[in-house]
Amino acid sequence: MAKLAPANVKDSANSKPRYEIIEVKSDLSKKTRMVASMEAIEKDLVAKAESVMADLSSQFAGWIDSDVQRLLTAKDAVLEYGLNAETKHELFISSHEIKGLAATFGFPLIGKLAYSLCNMLETIQDNTKIPVSVIEQHTASIAAMVHKNAQGDGSAIARTLTMRLCKVTEDYVVHVQNK
C-alpha cells in the first residue's frame, strides 16, 4: 500500500506539489504459510492433550472412588462429631476434589453436585445453619452417580435429582445470607 506525503509541500524549483510514495512490502504468502504451520502445531498439541486425557481417564475410576470414599468418611465424621471446623474442612476438600475430577473427565452432574456442596460449605459461615440432611443428600447422590458411572448428561432421574438438589441448596444458601 502506498502512502502519500502532504500535498501542500511544494518543490521550490517548479512549484508543483511534491509527494513521496512509500511502498510497504508485505509478503502474504509467508504469512499464510506461518498461519498454516501454527494451525498444524495447534492440532498436534490438541491431539497430544487428548491422548494424555485418554490415558488419564483410565485412572479416573480409581481416583474418583478414592475421593468418594474420602467424602463419605467426612460425612460420617460430621454425623458422629457434628459439623465443626475440622469436619467441615475435610468435607469441603473432598467435595472440591470430586468437583475438579468430575468436570475434567466428563461427569458434569457429579461436578454440579460437588460444586453445590462446596458452595454451601464455603458460603454459610455459621455451621449450625448448615443442614446435615443436605450434606447427606449430596454425598449419597454423588456416591450413587459414581457407582452408576453417570457420565455426560446421565439419566433423566440423575438430571432431575441434580437440578432439584442444587436448586434447593442454592435457595437455602441465599435465604441464610439474607437473614
Q: What is the pLDDT of residues 106-157, one digit of tens each?
A: 889 999 999 999 999 999 999 999 999 999 999 999 999 988 887 888 888 9
* Dihedral sign (CA 145, 107, 119, 174): negative
Mention every residue, 6+ apart, whose C-beta is less than 8 A from residue 79: 132, 136
- pLDDT grade for 13, boundaries at 50, 70 and 90: low
Identity of the residue numbered 174: V
As given in the structure block, the three cell numbers for residue 171 are: 435457595
- Look at residue 49 in the predicted model and tell me its pLDDT: 72
CA 4 to chain centroid, in Å, comes to 52
Q: Is 5 helix (H, G, I), strand (E, B) or coil?
A: coil
The H or E element containing residue 3 is strand 2-3
What integer is the mean pLDDT of 81-104? Answer: 94
Whether pTM exceeds 0.75: no
